Amino acid sequence: MVLLFGLGLWLVWNPNPAIKPDPGTQVQTLQLGPIKGVVEVSRAEEGGPARARVLYRDGSASQPISAAEFERTFGVSLDRVAARPSTPLFRLLNITSWGSLLWVAIGFAGQAAMFGRMAIQWVVSEKQKQSVIPEAFWWLSLVGGISLFSYFAWRQDLIAVLGQTSGVVIYARNIRLIHKQRRRAARAAQRLENGDTVDLGGGDSPLEPAAAAEPKPARPHIPSPVEIVRT
């Protein structure tokens, strides 16, 4: 599990090998329609004028342009693009405000609920020495599914949103079925206590102790021809 988690972190944060910014430059993510890349910001000297270059994921790159040319082309100042998030936490989570941090917290809470459901199911199954799905599994699944649905919708991740949609419906349906079964069992127990009839599947029938099975009469012994001859 730890190795798989580490692999996921490496895949997320490892830079694209085709994008090779110059040493000592700043890079910021860029997306122009379906085209993705980074803006490389460099300065000839400390405090000097900035220059920009766009590096694309296919390995190609634009010619260096000045800050003025960049602003005329993209309509935003190069200094604003090059500005890094104010805290290391924002850079780590790829967010720009404390409001965004709330959504990230919702996403983490959803993942924690999903992990918790599997941990509970594992512990309960180990105790009973068989595969068991407790009700808490479905409640944690529902909470986690709704949280992750909300988080991925905020991230505008269509595939992840679709992945949570069916799950939320199934989790809620299982919880409803569990409670319907409990209500039926409670009604049956109440009717038994009152001496009423209980539906056994083929209509209402009184529940009475099963009568002792009557012994079957012994079958008469018919002698075989061999026994007759011997006699």
Q: Which domain holds residue 141?
A: 93-187
CB of 5 closer than 8 Å to CB of 58: no
Structural domains of the chain, count: 2
Query: Are 117 and 175 contained in the same domain?
Result: yes
Cβ–Cβ under 8 Å, residues 19 and 55: yes
**101 and 63 in one domain?**
no
pLDDT in tens, the chain (231 residues): 778 878 777 766 666 666 777 777 777 777 777 777 778 888 766 767 788 888 887 778 888 888 888 888 878 777 777 676 657 777 778 777 788 889 999 999 999 999 999 999 999 999 999 999 999 999 999 999 999 999 999 988 899 999 899 899 999 999 999 999 999 999 888 888 887 665 545 444 444 444 445 566 666 666 655 555 555
Which letter does DSSP use for residue 94 in this model? T
Does residue 58 share a domain with residue 107? no
Question: Is residue 28 located within the same domain as residue 80?
Answer: yes
As a whole number of angstroms, the distance between CA 217 and CA 91 comes to 88
Quick one: 66 and 119 in the same domain? no
Buried b (16+ CB within 10 A) or exposed e, 65-104: bebeebbeebeeebeebbeeeeeeebeebebeeeeeeebb
Question: Are 143 and 160 found together in one domain?
Answer: yes
Phi, psi of 185 (to 5 degrees): -65, -40
The dihedrals phi and psi of 63, each to the nearest 5 degrees, come to -75, 150
